[in-house]
Structures are given as C-alpha cells and as structure tokens.
C-alpha cells in the first residue's frame, strides 16, 4: 500500500503545482512496473482545450512514451475520480486499475460538472440537455460496411 | 435541412478517406455560423493515441482555431454517435447540438466497444470491470480547498 500512496501523492502534487501555474486542481500519473510512464495536469484554460484533463493528458503522454495505444498493464493514479470523458478514455486505453483521491461529489462542491455529466450520459438520448439527432444513417452505415470488408484493417 | 446534410456528408467523407489512410471509420466536423471551424478523423492506431477519436480531435482543432475552450455556439456533425469519452468532451466544450450518422449499436456490430462503455459508466463504481479505489482522500481534498480559496482562479 505504501507504493500506492507514493504515486497518489505524485498525482496530488501535480494538481498542487498546477494551481500555482494557473491550471485546474487536477493531476494524474500512469505507472508501469513501479515506474511513472505518463503524467498530466489539467490544462483546459491554459491551453484552451476542453479535452485537456489530467487523465487524458497522462494517457496521451504514456501512449506516446510507450509507443502503443494499449495500456492494459498500467495503473492510473488521479487526484480526483475521473469524469465520464476521462473514464471513457481509460476504458479505450484498457487500463484495468484506477486509484482516485477526491470524488465526483467533491468536484461538484468546488464547481466542476462531473456529476451532472454522469447523470446526462445515463439518460436516453432524447432526455439529454444536448440535442442529438440522427442524420443520413444509411450513407454513414455504408462507411462501416466498407470498413468491415477491408482485409488489412487495424482493429482495436 | 440541406445545410445539415452538407456538413454530415463532410463528416462521412472524412471517415471514408480515413479508412484509406489506415485509420478507423469515423469522421467529424464542427460548424460555426455555416463555416467548418474544426475537423477530425479517428487516429487511434495511426498516432498510438487511445483518445484520438474523430470528435475529440475536431473539438481540439476547433478550440485551437477559435482560441477558446467554450464552443457553445457551434454544432457538431459526426459520422457515428459519440462514445462516452467523446460525449463527455462535447459536454465540457458546451456544444449544444449534435448530428450523428451511425448509432452505438451500429458501432458494436463492427467491433467497437462504445455500447459496452456506456453500460459500464452507468454502473456504480464497485460493479465496473475496471477496479477503482479511493486513496488519500483528505490529502486530495486539501488541494480542492486551496483551489477554492484562490482569488484569481480561472473557473470553467
């Protein structure tokens, strides 16, 4: 358990440093075999990038460093429970284990929308606050059929 | 409606071109006042980046071009219903309207996990396939308190 504390404190320290640098209070590290292979802190306002959450940047950093998109032998330590965007990214990266400091309720208490977005995603499409409409479905599905027929496709 | 078809066909065309370029069968464009301000196609395997979905890249591209993280006056056209990661990104970017071609079920039919991830995210933490554990909560919450006390913080 001491090792887990060690890496979580690195994630929290990234969050602390980031506040001083004008960013949001979130940090994350990704660890493989006891070594940090990726890290990130929230750069949404500093980089004008709504996707630049700590976990997303840590995943991108680790994937770049390891030269692969599959991080299934890694562990993620994040100073706050991942939002739906970041948790989705964690599933796509196939990271099997996540340690988190604050919860989504803690995040809501300081003004971040994570909990609201979780509620929205579990709603059926027609009940969400975002308007979502299907369009040109058969033309779009032709693309999927072409993909399916491609012999040398890189699946993931 | 013709204008919507026009932009959706651009998203589908990005997906078609991307198959030829070795990427996944997904494309997206972001439109502001009738002009494309951002676009993306799936680069997960080409760039070794599990977060490089079409919508995430289109959002990052539009935010860069417009120099802001708030895309609340934009519309997104995507060749497939956004996965939870991308839908989370759409909420964070405050995009109010999304048109989509294929559905998550169509994506599942050609081997993409979107539907599975939607099911996972709506589960309570302890029932998910990813192991998630809280750790050092009080140390992490101190970071949030520091953020809350910061006078010149950039909220979003």
Could you report the predicted ipTM of this complex, rounded to two decimals? Answer: 0.96
pLDDT above 90 (res A156): no
Q: Would you state the pLDDT for residue B74?
A: 98
The reply to whether residue B25 touches residue A143, judged by beta carbons under 8 angstroms, is yes
The reply to whether residue B99 touches residue A134, judged by beta carbons under 8 angstroms, is yes
Q: What CA–CA distance (Å, rounded) separates B73 from B33?
A: 8
Residue from B14, B38, B85, B105 whose CB has the most chain A CBs within 10 Å, to mutate:
B85
Grade residue B104 by pLDDT with cuts at 50, 70 and 90: very high
Tell me the pLDDT tens digit for each residue of A38-87: 999 999 999 999 999 999 999 999 999 999 999 999 999 999 999 999 99
The structure tokens listed for A44 are 């949404």
Grade residue A4 by pLDDT with cuts at 50, 70 and 90: very high
Answer for the pair B121, A118: CB distance below 8 angstroms, yes or no: yes
- Summarize the confidence of residues B69-97 as an average pLDDT: 97
User: Average per-residue pLDDT in chain B?
Assistant: 96
Q: Is B120 exposed, middle or buried (0-12, 13-18, 19+ CB in 10 A)?
A: middle
Answer for the pair A41, A20: CB distance below 8 angstroms, yes or no: no
Tell me the pLDDT tens digit for each residue of B23-70: 999 999 999 999 999 999 999 999 999 999 999 999 999 999 999 999
Strand partners, B30: B38, B76
Q: Give chain B positions within 8 Å (CB) of A63.
A: 48-50
Grade residue B113 by pLDDT with cuts at 50, 70 and 90: confident
pLDDT above 90 (res A154): no
Q: Would you state the pLDDT for residue A44?
A: 96
What pTM did the predictor assign? 0.96
Q: Would you state the pLDDT for residue A24?
A: 94
27-46 of B, contacting A, C-beta below 8 A? 44-45
- Summarize the confidence of residues B118-138 as an average pLDDT: 95
Opening angle at CA A31, ends B69 and A10, nearest 5: 70
pLDDT above 80 (res B148): yes
Between A and B, how many CB-CB pairs are < 8 A? 284
- Summarize the confidence of residues A115-133 as an average pLDDT: 94
- Summarize the confidence of residues A148-155 as an average pLDDT: 88
Considering only CB atoms, A50 lies closest to which of B63, B101, B131, namely B63
- Summarize the confidence of residues A134-148 as an average pLDDT: 96
- Cα–Cα distances in angstroms (integers) from residue A70 to residues A91, A144, B11, in the given order: 10, 23, 27
Q: What CA–CA distance (Å, rounded) separates A127 from A31?
A: 39
Q: What are phi and psi of B50, to 5 degrees?
A: -65, -15
Q: What CA–CA distance (Å, rounded) separates A38 from A65?
A: 7
- Cα–Cα distances in angstroms (integers) from residue B42 to residues B22, B23, B141, in the given order: 10, 6, 36
Grade residue A114 by pLDDT with cuts at 50, 70 and 90: confident
DSSP state of A79: E
Active site residue B55: yes
> Assign residue B111 a region: left if phi > 0, alpha if psi is -120 to 50, beta otherwise?
left
Q: Would you state the pLDDT for residue B131?
A: 97
Answer for the pair A77, A99: CB distance below 8 angstroms, yes or no: yes
Q: Would you state the pLDDT for residue A155?
A: 82
Q: Tell whether the torsion through CA atoms of B71, B73, B76 and B81 is positive or negative.
A: positive
- What percent of chain A clears pLDDT 70, i.e. is strictly above it? 99
- What percent of chain B clears pLDDT 90, i.e. is strictly above it? 92
User: Average per-residue pLDDT in chain A?
Assistant: 96
Q: What 3-state class would DSSP assign to A134?
A: strand
Q: Would you state the pLDDT for residue B60?
A: 98
Q: What CA–CA distance (Å, rounded) separates B102 from B136?
A: 42
Tell me the pLDDT tens digit for each residue of A17-29: 999 999 999 999 9
- Weakest-pLDDT range from A25-29, A52-56, A108-112, B91-95: A108-112
């Amino acid at each position: 358990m001491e090792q887990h504390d060690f890496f979580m404190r690195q994630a929290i320290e990234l969050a602390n440093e980031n506040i001083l640098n004008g960013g949001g209070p979130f940090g994350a590290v990704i660890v493989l075999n006891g070594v940090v292979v990726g890290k990130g802190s929230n750069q949404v306002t500093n980089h004008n990038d709504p996707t630049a959450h700590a976990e997303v940047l840590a995943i991108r950093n680790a994937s770049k460093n390891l030269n692969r998109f599959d991080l299934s032998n890694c562990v993620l330590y994040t100073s706050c429970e991942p939002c739906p965007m970041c948790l989705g990214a964690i599933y796509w990266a196939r990271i099997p284990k996540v340690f988190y400091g604050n919860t989504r309720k803690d995040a809501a208490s300081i003004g971040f929308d994570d909990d609201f977005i979780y509620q929205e995603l579990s709603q059926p499409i027609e009940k969400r606050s975002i308007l979502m409409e299907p369009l040109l479905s058969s033309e779009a599905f032709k693309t999927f059929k072409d993909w399916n027929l491609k012999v040398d496709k890189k699946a993931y």
